Structure 1
Amino acid sequence: MSTLDVGDARLAYTDVGSGTPVVWLHGSGPGATGMSNFGGNLPAFEDYRNIVVDLPGWGSSPRPATDEPLIFHAAERVSRALTALGIERAHLVGNSYGGAVAMRMAMRHPDRVDRLVLMAPGGVLPVDAPAWPIGLDRLFAYMAAEKPSRAAMAEFVRLMVFDETLATESLIDERYESSLRAHPELPIPPNFGDLTPDLALIAAPTLLVWGREDQTVPLTWAPKILEGIPNAELRVLPHCRHWVQYERAPEFNHIVREFLQGGAAAAPSEG
């Protein structure tokens, strides 16, 4: 793992493979890091240059003091990181919070974004959204705990997958230990920021991927994003919750590779 100076912050990242750049942006769950979210997917993308980022305040990236909404802050630092790496344009793949960061980058820096893959992204709430879904409720409770417990982490991880046998003891241990190293000190709920007003600014072809049984960012929240982004399509995987890239890795890898190669959500023809 390497680090980049992006002005007022340092970002940790992993850079593997060669070819067209793909930037991987992780979620905001406790213990999340770029490699914990996407390390298992990278072998399927070895013909791309994969930049796997630890977003500010997670993993090995320190959290700078800021009152700016987290999505806005992170998106600008990732954009600066691409400049530092000499990358003019890239595909962006983000899940949950990372998906929101990817959307913000596509809104603010459209010339830098080729294609977007968003797995149950945050940053857009339906007007009639009810109380927090159970996954977000457990996430915020873990963040708020003075001394978070492994039992609480186990409960959180099991909510992320439909097949709870995938919530292995080693995965729970990994996420728990990571959360203790970089436990975010944030207001609860955090000030993530609202992307709703600017969805129409996203010009990039966009693929939304959702687990049908997601209990964190529910599928019922998808239509607002699908309708707001001009060139977007939605794929829904059954028997799957929030961690699509982990729980349904083979299907996810196939769908995303097809999309990045231009096999889905092609730009509309003129005529």
Structure 2
Amino acid sequence: MDVGDTELAYTEFGAGSPVVWLHGSGPGATGMSNFGANLAAFEDYRNIVVDLPGWGGSPRPAMDEPLIFHAAERICRALTALGIDRAHLVGNSYGGGVAMRIAMRHPDRVDRLVLMAPGGVLPQDATPWPVGLEHLFAYMAAENPSREAMARFVRLMVYDETLATEALIDERYESSLKAHPELPIPPNFGDLTPDLALIDAPTLLVWGREDQTVPLTWAPTILQGIPNAELRVLPRCRHWVQYERAPEFNHIVREFLQGGAAAASKG
């Protein structure tokens, strides 16, 4: 779809209230690689699965602003292009940061937020980087990244490494070679911390207890900063909650989108 200064690739599935799915920034990430396996559980929603600018099938336009800020405005333009006034937003990692930015700047466009270990909110001293971010940035900085480097990255994303299948590694590796992001390392994602209190939407945070990329120790700042937020922590799970714990993830997200503790507390 045309969003003005660029185009965004997207997949649409199902019918009902709109849900926009926003993927992470890892090498080879696309909307469908992050969320394709979850969609069958949400077929009674209108699912919009987007490739964010510079990932998957979406070209990276020139920009002079943080990644999260830039992407958030293009997603809002996409909603307009699709005739969607208001939607639920589900974001993983970088995509979670994009979802938060939209909720801060365009609260009238957001119904409910689901954020899986979202980016954009760092502790005052985030160095040394968590091992997952170290591998992510190293891969992005490599001129000719290897398949083994991708395999190491994928294995860090899951607690149960049997889920890091050869097919998944191949898919992510091939995708990363087609659309290798040309970004400073570490990228300028933007800092959302000062504006967390602007998020009025009911918000569900979902975190893997053993996350080595955006660790659980980073969660309290977001949980305490968003007025209407709740946190679910899944044990024996790392960064890809929606993939590693898909049945539990699908259940708790559906329950939340249909109304739950956050809505009750707001009343």
Instruction: Using structure 1 for the length normalisation, give the TM-score.
Output: 0.97
Amino acid at match of 1:41: N
Q: How many aligned residue pairs are there?
A: 267
Write out per-residue CA displacement over residues 103-123 of structure 1, whole angstroms, 9 at most, x where no aligned residue. 000000000000000000000
Assess if the C-alpha contact under 8 Å between 1:75 and 1:102 holds in 2.
yes
* 1:14 equivalent in structure 2: 11
* 1:239 equivalent in structure 2: 236
Q: 1:230 aligns with which of 222, 227, 230?
A: 227
Q: Does 1:122 pair with 2:119?
A: yes
Q: Does 1:34 pair with 2:34?
A: no
2:48 match: secondary structure? strand
Distance 2:12 2:39 in 1: 11
* 1:70 equivalent in structure 2: 67
Q: State the identity as a percent.
A: 87
Shift of 1:126: 1.3
Q: 1:200 aligns with which of 193, 197, 200?
A: 197
Assess if the C-alpha contact under 8 Å between 2:203 and 2:228 holds in 1.
yes
Amino acid at match of 2:170: D
Q: How does 1:241-256 map to 2 (within 5 A)?
A: 241-256=238-253
* 1:47 equivalent in structure 2: 44
Q: Does 1:161 pair with 2:158?
A: yes
Assess if the C-alpha contact under 8 Å between 2:237 and 2:245 holds in 1.
yes
Q: Does 1:137 pair with 2:134?
A: yes
Distance 1:165 1:191 in 2: 33
* 1:151 equivalent in structure 2: 148
1:256 match: secondary structure? helix
* 1:209 equivalent in structure 2: 206
Distance 1:269 1:171 in 2: 40
Assess if the C-alpha contact under 8 Å between 2:38 and 2:250 holds in 1.
yes
Q: Does 1:83 pair with 2:95?
A: no
Distance 2:88 2:125 in 1: 32
Structure 1 segments, 4+ long, off by >2 Å, are 267-270
* 1:187 equivalent in structure 2: 184
Residue ranges of structure 2 left out of the alignment (5+ in a row): none
Q: 1:260 aligns with which of 252, 257, 261?
A: 257
Shift of 1:128: 3.6
Shift of 1:129: 2.9
- Provide the alpha-carbon RMSD of the alignment: 0.8
Assess if the C-alpha contact under 8 Å between 1:107 and 1:199 holds in 2.
yes
* 1:177 equivalent in structure 2: 174
2:224 match: secondary structure? helix
Amino acid at match of 1:189: P
* Larger helix fraction of residues: 2
* 2:20 equivalent in structure 1: 23
Assess if the C-alpha contact under 8 Å between 2:156 and 2:212 holds in 1.
yes
Distance 1:214 1:264 in 2: 25
Write out per-residue CA displacement over residues 208-233 of structure 1, whole angstroms, 9 at most, x where no aligned residue. 00000000000000000000000000
Residue ranges of structure 1 left out of the alignment (5+ in a row): none
Assess if the C-alpha contact under 8 Å between 1:258 and 1:264 holds in 2.
no
Assess if the C-alpha contact under 8 Å between 1:205 and 1:267 holds in 2.
no
2:169 match: secondary structure? helix
Q: How does 1:53-64 map to 2 (within 5 A)?
A: 53-64=50-61
Write out per-residue CA displacement over residues 184-221 of structure 1, whole angstroms, 9 at most, x where no aligned residue. 00000001000000000000000000000000000000
Assess if the C-alpha contact under 8 Å between 1:24 and 1:94 holds in 2.
yes
Shift of 1:267: 4.9
Distance 1:127 1:227 in 2: 16
